[in-house]
Amino acid sequence: MIDLYTWTTPNGRKISIMLEEIGLPYKVMPVDTNKGQQFEATFLTISPNNKIPAIVDHDAPGGPLSVFESGAILVYLADKSGQLLAASGPARYKALEWTFWQVGGLGPMLGQLGFFVMRSKERSPEAIERFTTEAVRLFTVMERRLSHSPYLAGADYSIADIAAYPWAAAAVPLVRQSAAEAFGEKPALSAWLERVGARAAVGAGMAVPKV
């Protein structure tokens, strides 16, 4: 059994989607980040960066193992299950490339955009413009990639698609509306959102945690 520490956010949903895809049983441990539960001492022993998601695998070889950082968790679960990440060779590195592109680029930039548009107490046009421009650039990178291959890593659906989907599903409609001209047409990205969103495991993972 795996304990999944998560909340109703894109980074958390990457891992519930992955667990649904690979079919490993898991127990949802909600961490309400709006109430500051990510700073509680017990959670810090599992996630020293005070953020969700994190997991504890009670069946790991050698005893219970905690893993934090969504990219590391996706790789761990892929290696444990032998699914959604090639064990070696070019396909593995293509999937890792796009997974870390998401973790280091798409996620943080969209996170900052969301903060300045929806949560900041002061309106900062410069910050909104900077992160909108970066969001459009990153979605253009996705569009280019997806017009050559059905999935981010290439021919096969992988952890890279799982990493990007919850963020893109949340942000594409907003950026398409707020920066319509710059966003333009993104047919390959739209088709990918539909293709990935239609998977049963993605639907189930996106509904976790139930609050």
Ligand X SMILES: N[C@@H](CCC(=O)N[C@@H](CS)C(=O)NCC(=O)O)C(=O)O
Rule CB under 6 A: is residue 6 a binding residue for ligand X?
A: no
How far is the C-alpha of 112 from the C-alpha of 107, rounded, in Å? 9
CA 126 to the chain's CA centroid: 26
Rule CB under 6 A: is residue 193 a binding residue for ligand X?
A: no
Nearest distance from C-beta of residue 102 to ligand X, angstroms: 9
Rule CB under 6 A: is residue 74 a binding residue for ligand X?
A: no
Of the residues 51, 145, 176, 186, which one makes contact with ligand X according to CB under 6 A: 51
Contacts (Cβ under 8 Å, ≥6 apart) of 77: 15, 18, 19, 22, 24, 55
In one letter, which amino acid is 195?
A: R
Rule CB under 6 A: is residue 208 a binding residue for ligand X?
A: no
Rule CB under 6 A: is residue 190 a binding residue for ligand X?
A: no
Q: Kind and range of the H or E element at 68?
A: strand 65-68
Rule CB under 6 A: is residue 38 a binding residue for ligand X?
A: yes
Sheet holding 65-68, edge to edge: 26-30, 2-6, 54-57, 65-68
Nearest distance from C-beta of residue 82 to ligand X, angstroms: 23
Q: Under DSSP, is residue 152 helix (H, G, I), strand (E, B) or coil?
A: coil
Rule CB under 6 A: is residue 55 a binding residue for ligand X?
A: no
Rule CB under 6 A: is residue 112 a binding residue for ligand X?
A: no
Nearest distance from C-beta of residue 122 to ligand X, angstroms: 19
Which one, 39 or 93, has the nearer CB to ligand X?
39
Rule CB under 6 A: is residue 4 a binding residue for ligand X?
A: no
Which one, 51 or 145, has the nearer CB to ligand X?
51
How far is the C-alpha of 69 from the C-alpha of 54, rounded, in Å? 7
Nearest distance from C-beta of residue 55 to ligand X, angstroms: 11
Q: Mask of contacts with ligand X, 87-106, x by CB under 6 A?
A: ----------------x---
CA nearest neighbour of 167 among 120, 91, 105: 105
Task: Pull the structure tokens for residue 54.
Answer: 């994190």
**String of DSSP letters for 9-62:** SHHHHHHHHHHHHHT--EEEEE--GGGTGGGSHHHHTT-TTS-S-EEEETTSTT
Of the residues 8, 37, 50, 112, which one makes contact with ligand X according to CB under 6 A: 50
Nearest distance from C-beta of residue 12 to ligand X, angstroms: 6
List residues near ligand X by CB under 6 A.
9-11, 33, 38, 50-53, 69-70, 103, 107
